[in-house]
Amino acid sequence: MDKIELNRLLRKAGFSKKEFASKFELSSSAVNNWGGSANIPLWVESWLTLYIENKECKKLKQILKDSGVCNG
């Protein structure tokens, strides 16, 4: 993953770099340096991808619940 992909995933997940850093108790400067002077940790891409998928599933579940298709 490169810096452009990181920024895309952060936007899609609804995080600023500062918010993402805070969530994982990382320094904002460390996250800002990812993809530039520092490599992006391997776990970041999979975590963001799963977070985004989970958000989308929750939205779909709410739509189905609101439409009466499912009760859970």
pLDDT greater at residue 65 or residue 11: 11
The predicted pLDDT at position 38 comes to 86
Compute the distance between CA of residue 57 and CA of residue 45 in angstroms, rounded to an integer: 18
Domain for residue 40, yes or no?
yes
Domain for residue 20, yes or no?
yes
Task: Give per-residue pLDDT as tens, 22-52.
Answer: 999 999 999 999 988 789 999 999 999 999 9
pTM: 0.82
Q: DSSP code of 27? A: -
Compute the distance between CA of residue 35 and CA of residue 62 in angstroms, rounded to an integer: 36
Domain for residue 72, yes or no?
no
54 conformational bin, left if phi > 0, alpha if psi -120 to 50, beta if neither: alpha
Contact indicator for 21, 31 with CB cutoff of 8 Å: yes
Q: Which amino acid is at 68?
A: G
Domain count, the chain: 1
Name the band, by pLDDT with cuts 50, 70 and 90, for residue 69: confident
Domain for residue 16, yes or no?
yes
Q: DSSP code of 32? A: H
Structural domain boundaries enclosing 12: 3-67
